[in-house]
Structure 1
Amino acid sequence: MANPVILVYSSNAQTRAAIVAAIGRRPAADVGLVDFLECSTLPEVLLAVDSQAADLLVLDGEAQPVGGIGICRQLHQELPDDIVVPPVMLLVGRAADRWLATWARADEVLLSPPDPVTAAEAAATLLRRLGSEQAPVAAELTG
Structure 2
Amino acid sequence: MSTAPSSAPESPVKVLVYSDDANTRAQIRMAIGRRPAADLPQVEFIELATQPAVVERLDQGGVDAVIVDAEAQPAGGLGVCRQAKDEVYDCPPVLAVIARRDDGWLATWSRADAVVSLPLDPMAVAQALAGLLRRRLENRLPAL
TM-score by length of 2: 0.88
Can you list the C-alpha shifts for 1:99-138, whole angstroms capped at 9, x where unaligned?
A: 110111000001012210000011111110011101699x
* Counterpart among 132, 136, 140 of residue 130 in structure 1: 136
Asked if 1 retains the 8 angstrom alpha-carbon contact of 2:31 and 2:125, the reply is: yes
* Counterpart among 39, 42, 63 of residue 72 in structure 2: 63
Asked if 2 retains the 8 angstrom alpha-carbon contact of 1:4 and 1:136, the reply is: no
| Mapping 1:58-137, distance limit 5 Å | 58-77=67-86, 79=87, 83-134=89-140
More contact order relative to length (CA 8 Å, sep ≥ 6): 1
Asked if 1 retains the 8 angstrom alpha-carbon contact of 2:96 and 2:107, the reply is: yes
| Mapping 1:4-43, distance limit 5 Å | 4-43=13-52
Distance 2:69 2:141 in 1: 26
Distance 2:104 2:60 in 1: 29
* Counterpart among 34, 40, 46 of residue 55 in structure 2: 46
User: 2:6 matched to which residue of 1?
Assistant: none
- Structure showing greater Rg: 2
Instruction: In structure 1, give the amino acid aligned to 2:139.
Output: E
TM-score by length of 1: 0.88
Other structure's SS at 2:67 match: strand
Provide the identity percentage: 46
Other structure's SS at 1:96 match: helix
Other structure's SS at 1:29 match: coil
Aligned length: 134
Which consecutive residues of structure 2, in runs of 5 or more, have no partner in the other structure? 1-9
Instruction: In structure 2, give the amino acid aligned to 1:85.
Output: C
For the structure 1 residues 136 and 42, does the alpha-carbon distance in structure 2 shift closer, same or farther, using more than 3 Å as the test? farther
Which consecutive residues of structure 1, in runs of 5 or more, have no partner in the other structure? 138-143
State the 4+ residue runs in structure 1 displaced beyond 6 angstroms.
none
Q: RMSD over aligned Cα, in angstroms?
A: 1.7
